[in-house]
Each structure stands twice: as C-alpha cells, then as structure tokens.
C-alpha cells in the first residue's frame, strides 16, 4: 500500500507494475498480463490481494483470475480500451504533460455552468472534437462546463448513468489522456470543468464487482435503479470516496456533480457524501473546487457546513424553478409538474427564496417535500430552463423553445440568467437547437427490451404519452438512430444565431452590472402586476437599483401603477437597459418608455430598467396653491390649461 496513489488498481512503479484488488470472497487471486503471463497475488488484511509484476509497463492489458475462474477486468481499472467486458489497461497518470500549473480552480460566486454530453456534443462524439467548441463557450460567457458521466459503461452509446468501472473514462470518447487534454485546454481558456459522478448504483451490464465481493451492494435496500451501494463496508466505502479524489487529482477537475444523492443510503455519523466532499477538496490541494448535488427531496443539509451537521457541498440543483418556469411557458402540468401553477408569484418566490417547496405537502408524492431554505445564499441554488433529464422526460425529447412561444422563451431566459441563483445552460441552447435530447442506451437484446419497457412505464406518469396514437412516435432507447438524433447540429456561424446573441448579452449584463453580479436575493423584492406579469426590483447601494419587468401574457396597458416597486428612485426616471424583444434576438421590438405617460408592458417579453437622472422639470406647485387640482389632470391637458 505504501507509495500508492489509490488503494486499488494497477500503478506503475520503477521496474514494473503494482496490482492491488479487494476480493474478500476469494481465496486465491492472480493477475493475468497480456493474456499469457500469470502472477499470483498475496493476500493482505481486510480481503485485499496485491502483487508486483516486474517488467510490466504502461499499455499492458491485464485481468484478474479468481479462484481459478475468469479472468475478469479490474473493478478499479483506469482504462478499458475494449469496453466493460474487455481487458483492463495499465495507465501512468503522471506521464501527461500538463500546462495548467497556474490554474487556481473555481469558486462558487459568479459561475455560469454549461452541461453537455460528450457523445452528442459534436458529430464525432469525442473529447478531442469537444475541445474545438470550447472557445465558443468562453465567448458566450460560460465559466464552468459540467460533463455528464463518463465512467465506463456497457455499449457503444448511452447517457453514462449506468457506469460500472468508475475509474475508467468511457473508451468511445477517447483514451484517458484525451480527457486530460480537454481539461488542460479548458483551463488555458479560463474554463473550469466539473464531472457528473454516480455513487448511488451500478449499471446492470458489465458490473463485475459482485464476483470480487458481496459487500459492494446492500441487497436489502433498493435505490430506484437496483440494489443500493453499501457504505457500511469500509473497503467498499473507500472505493467510492477514493474515486472522488481520483478525478480531481489525476484529471485536474474543478469539482463534481453528485447524482441523485437521495438514493445514497448511509446511516453512519460521517455521511459518505460529506466524506466524498472532503476527499475531493483534499485532492485539489491549493486549488478551489465546487461540488454540486442533485437532491430531489430538497434537503438543505446538503449545503450546510459540515461543522453544523451538513454535507458541506457548494450547491444544489433547483427543480422548483425549472418546473414553475416550464408550466408558465407551456401551460402543461402533467406528472411531477402537477404541483406547479406557473404563476408570476411562483417565479417571484423562486427568485427570492430558492426552493418553492420547503416542507409543504406535494400531491404528486402525497408527502411533505423540501426543508426551510431561508437564509441560504441564492448562489447555492442551481437554476436552468433545460437539463438532460427535463428535456428527455417528454414524449419527443423536445427543447423548451419548440413547445412555447419565442417571446416567452426569451423572457424566461432573461429571468433565469439575471436571477441571483447560479445559472446552468444545457448543450445547444446557445445555438437555438431544436434537435431533441432523448434517452438512449445500448444494451443486449434482453436488457434492451427491459429498458424500453421501463422507459415507457416511467413516462406513463405523463398521461399524454399513453395515447395509443403516440406510441409509434416514442423513440426506442436502444436504437442508434435515437442517439444520432440527439447530436447537435453545428450552424455555419454561431455568432449569427439569435439565441447566441441573447444569451451572450444577458451573461455580459450579469457579469458587468454590479447589481446583478451581487447575487443577493435579500436585496430583491418582487410583485405580481398582472395575470401573467410580475416585476423584480434589485436594490443596490443608495438609489442604484434595477427593475426587471416580465410579462408572459398579453400586453398590459396601462400597467398597474399602484405597485410601489415600479416607482423610480427620487429624482430619477427609468431607462431601458435590455429587452428580450430586441430585433437582434428575433424579437419584434417594444413600445417606447415615456416617463410621464402610463406604461405599456409588452406581452411575451422581459425588460430591464435602470435609473437615470430625471430631466429638469418646472417647480411643482406647493400644497395649498390654486393649481393643486392639476395633479389629477393628464399632463397634456395641464399644459393646455396653462397656455402651453
């Protein structure tokens, strides 16, 4: 164990390779190198076996023989060139020539995330092809890319959430050093990279862990995707905790996104999620990293400091914002959307308070959901209009912009990217992509059938998907055509895409305007001003502030001027800073704002206003003068009565 980077796996040493594996259910273990050389392994404490193989080196292929059975791939393999069922490959992580020595990592404030899937991000579906798209993301205003899971999984395509060899980057995307090249280039461009990791279940195909130990899984407890992982066993627990540090250390990643941690069951005093976070931060050394989690029950313990009994993560995904926005955009409220009205008040509350459900009963689950999030900094909530799940959880994998009006979509994009929460974009939004993102997974016939039926059952919560006439239009997850249909199509010049201009301008405003940059929800107040309209007032220092006027319905004229948030600061008038109906974004313009006239709030739009000094006006008459009654007269009539 001395001198090893990891507790298990193959590691290059002077003169050979050291192998170590946890196999407590076996009595005799040996390593077979390049299919011909067999080296017996010595038993160690706690069910480990180890051996040093002189003369072996980088690129050697190996498997383990267990009590004469096999040989089988290494559960801690760093590379599987031929997939989950093939031989493991010896890799030397120290051989890569990194150029990011000056990179200091990323901290939570000010980040803008971009989620993407390596296999569909480019036509080639590789790390090296994805590198070529990074300058576009920098120009857009993205600061961190979030990569969907890449731990080795079965088949030639898939989402990656069925990983089985958690230390091996998926071979179809390129060798491990291709992933390192991607991260190194991202850092050179000023981009952070975080990875989605799955510590709640193993995939159903290629999971050889059970041949080594019965203690990787908790067979009496389900996760929703099969048996739960077992964190009561110390070596099993260490396997996952070490994996978190591995990605940060050997790939210079800037953080992790932990998938569905509500399905990670651990009754120990030191919850494994907290331990994962500590190991990841230790592995980063002097670099700053960020760790997010998906937690459907919305338990803010996730982001509480570990010293206060929390897990110490940086942020959580916020489905509440997405669900309210989607219902507002489409009017559809099936399945888990049924608890949302899509009202202006829901959107105001989501911006102000983060989670909408903080302990109330939800009818979809028939139980209480959420915990009190008051006082949690807004930046700890990750918000989005699209992510991989929410796009795919529909009959056709439709993009939001294709199932709502263009104006509503632009307005909601404005709300999302100017809100104080940490925003995330999904691949293709900046291209105005109308390509679907579907669920796809490549499995053998029997498993493919089970996945196909399971997917239909999962979607059946959306009652419209059970319509018999729709069945023939539901994409088959196992068909390669489903995977190919989800690949992004590249425009000739992305700079001419209206959605690229929209998002780039909003992110520039978010980055450069000190009021929006503050991400301070405590200084934001909102009000409903119409059936589908609301206003958000962002207060700064002194009289400085911003007003965001959003109308997802028909024109309002006149706008309800009884709302105090609409009043400009003393001695100021409002001036338009940004509007979603700018013709550069494909919009149809907005009526001019006249300070002494009733406002018209244009339908399907968002407008950002900032205070500017008001022009000099004639002295107003003092109370008690003979002209007081003029205050109830339209300005044009007032001028006429005064002979103007």
Q: pTM of the prediction?
A: 0.94
Identify whether 259 is a catalytic site residue: yes
Domain boundaries, the chain: 9-95, 521-613
Q: How confident is the model at residue 34 (pLDDT cuts 50, 70, 90)?
A: very high
* d(C-alpha 247, C-alpha 197), whole Å: 10
Please write the tens of the pLDDT for every residue from 348-378.
Answer: 999 999 999 999 999 999 999 999 999 999 9
Please write the tens of the pLDDT for every residue from 229-270.
Answer: 999 999 999 999 999 999 999 999 999 999 999 999 998 999
At 302 the pLDDT is 97
Please write the tens of the pLDDT for every residue from 406-435.
Answer: 999 999 999 999 999 999 999 999 999 999
Close Cβ partners of 542 (under 8 Å, ≥ 6 residues apart): none
C-alpha dist (Å) from residue 218 to 142, 223, 284, 608: 40, 10, 31, 53
Tabulate helix, strand, coil % of the chain (nearest 5): 30, 20, 45
Which stretch of 120-129, 485-494, 568-577, 609-618 has the lowest confidence by average pLDDT?
A: 609-618
Rounded-to-10 torsion of CA 433, 387, 114, 404: 40
Tell me if 140 sits within 8 A of 189, measured CB to CB: no
CATH number attached to the domain at 521-613: 2.60.40.1180
Cis peptide before 71 (omega within 30 of 0): yes
Q: How many CB atoms lie within 10 A of CB 224?
A: 11
* d(C-alpha 575, C-alpha 371), whole Å: 39
Q: How many CB atoms lie within 10 A of CB 337?
A: 21
Catalytic residue among 254, 259, 319, 513: 259
Q: At what angle do helices 406-418 and 319-330 cross, to 10 degrees?
A: 160
At 234 the pLDDT is 95
Please write the tens of the pLDDT for every residue from 80-96.
Answer: 999 999 999 999 999 99
Q: Is pLDDT larger for residue 461 or for residue 443?
A: 443
Share of the chain above pLDDT 70, in %: 94
Q: How confident is the model at residue 468 (pLDDT cuts 50, 70, 90)?
A: confident
At 361 the pLDDT is 96
Q: Which long-range contacts (CB under 8 A, 24 or more apart) does 265-272 make?
A: 265/218, 265/221, 265/223, 265/228, 265/231, 266/231, 266/232, 267/232, 268/231, 268/232, 271/311, 272/199, 272/231, 272/237, 272/240, 272/241
Catalytic residue among 294, 442, 499, 505: 294
Q: How many CB atoms lie within 10 A of CB 570?
A: 8
DSSP of 367-399, one letter per residue?
A: EEE----TTS-GGGEEE-S--HHHHHSSSS---
Beta bridge pairs of residue 152: 165
pLDDT reading at 511 higher than 50: yes
Cis peptide before 558 (omega within 30 of 0): yes
Tell me if 580 sits within 8 A of 411, measured CB to CB: yes
Q: How confident is the model at residue 444 (pLDDT cuts 50, 70, 90)?
A: confident
Tokens of 563: 């709302």
Tell me if 379 sits within 8 A of 108, measured CB to CB: yes
pLDDT reading at 640 higher than 90: no
At 634 the pLDDT is 39
pLDDT reading at 573 higher than 70: yes
At 220 the pLDDT is 65
Tell me if 608 sits within 8 A of 506, measured CB to CB: no
Q: Could you check whether 9-95 and 521-613 share the same CATH topology?
A: yes
- Classified by CATH at the fold level, domain 9-95 comes out as Immunoglobulin-like (2.60.40)
At 226 the pLDDT is 64
Identify whether 294 is a catalytic site residue: yes
pLDDT reading at 486 higher than 60: yes
Q: How confident is the model at residue 635 (pLDDT cuts 50, 70, 90)?
A: very low
Q: Is pLDDT larger for residue 206 or for residue 630?
A: 206
């Amino acid at each position: 164990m001395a001198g090893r980077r990891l507790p298990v796996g193959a590691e290059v040493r002077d003169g050979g390779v050291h192998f170590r594996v946890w196999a407590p259910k076996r009595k005799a273990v040996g390593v077979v190198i390049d299919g011909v050389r067999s080296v017996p392994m010595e038993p160690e404490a706690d069910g480990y076996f180890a051996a040093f193989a002189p003369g072996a080196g980088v690129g050697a292929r190996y498997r383990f023989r267990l009590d004469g059975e096999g040989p089988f791939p290494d559960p801690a393999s760093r590379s599987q060139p031929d997939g989950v069922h093939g031989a493991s490959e010896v890799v030397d992580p120290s051989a890569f020539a990194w150029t990011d020595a000056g990179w200091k990592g990323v901290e939570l404030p000010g980040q803008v995330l971009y989620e993407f899937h390596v296999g569909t991000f480019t036509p080639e579906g590789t790390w090296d092809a994805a590198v070529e798209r990074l300058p576009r993301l920098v120009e857009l205003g993205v600061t961190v890319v979030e990569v969907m899971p890449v731990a080795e999984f079965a088949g030639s395509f898939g989402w990656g959430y069925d990983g089985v060899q958690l230390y091996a980057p998926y071979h179809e995307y390129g060798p491990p050093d291709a992933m390192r090249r991607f991260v190194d280039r991202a850092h050179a461009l000023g981009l952070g990279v975080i990875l989605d990791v799955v510590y709640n279940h193993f995939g159903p195909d290629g999971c050889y862990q059970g041949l080594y130990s019965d203690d990787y899984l908790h067979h009496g407890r389900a996760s929703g995707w099969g048996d739960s992982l077992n964190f009561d066993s110390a070596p099993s627990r260490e396997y996952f905790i070490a994996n978190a540090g591995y990605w940060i250390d050997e790939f210079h990643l800037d953080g992790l996104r932990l998938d569905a941690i509500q399905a990670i069951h651990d009754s120990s005093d030191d919850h494994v999620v907290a331990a994962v976070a500590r190991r990841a931060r230790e592995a980063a050394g002097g670099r700053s990293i960020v760790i997010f989690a998906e937690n459907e029950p919305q338990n803010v313990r996730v982001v509480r400091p570990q010293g206060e009994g929390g897990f110490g993560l940086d942020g959580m995904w916020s489905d509440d914002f997405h669900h309210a926005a989607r219902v507002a955009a489409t009017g559809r409220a099936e399945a888990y959307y049924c608890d949302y009205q899509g009202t202006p008040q829901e959107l105001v509350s989501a911006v102000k308070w983060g989670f909408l459900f903080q302990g109330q009963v939800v009818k979809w689950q028939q139980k209480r959901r959420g915990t009190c999030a008051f006082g949690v900094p807004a930046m700890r909530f990750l918000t989005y209009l699209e992510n991989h799940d929410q796009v795919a959880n529909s009959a056709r994998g439709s993009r939001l912009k294709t199932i709502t009006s263009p104006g509503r979509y632009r307005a909601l994009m404005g709300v999302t990217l100017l809100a104080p929460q940490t925003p995330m974009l999904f691949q293709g939004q900046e291209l105005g992509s109308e390509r679907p993102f579907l669920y796809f997974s490549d499995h053998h016939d029997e498993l493919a059938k089970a996945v196909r039926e399971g997917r239909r059952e999962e979607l059946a919560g959306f009652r419209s998907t059970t319509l018999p006439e729709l069945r023939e239009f539901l994409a088959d997850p196992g068909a390669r055509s489903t995977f190919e249909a989800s690949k992004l199509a590249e425009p000739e010049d992305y700079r001419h895409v209206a959605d690229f201009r929209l998002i780039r301008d909003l992110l520039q405003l978010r980055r450069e305007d000190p009021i929006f940059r503050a991400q301070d929800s405590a200084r934001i107040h909102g009000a409903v001003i119409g059936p589908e309209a609301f206003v958000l007032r962002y207060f700064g220092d002194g009289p400085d502030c911003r007003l965001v006027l959003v109308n997802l319905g028909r024109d309002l004229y006149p706008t309800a001027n009884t709302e105090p948030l609409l009043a400009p600061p003393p001695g100021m008038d409002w001036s338009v800073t940004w509007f979603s109906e700018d013709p550069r974004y494909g919009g149809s313009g907005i009526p001019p704002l006249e300070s002494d006239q009733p406002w018209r709030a244009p339908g399907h739009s968002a407008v950002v206003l900032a205070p500017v000094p008001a022009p000099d006006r004639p002295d107003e008459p003092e109370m008690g003068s003979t002209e007081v009654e003029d205050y109830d007269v339209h300005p044009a009539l007032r001028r006429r009565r005064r002979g103007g």
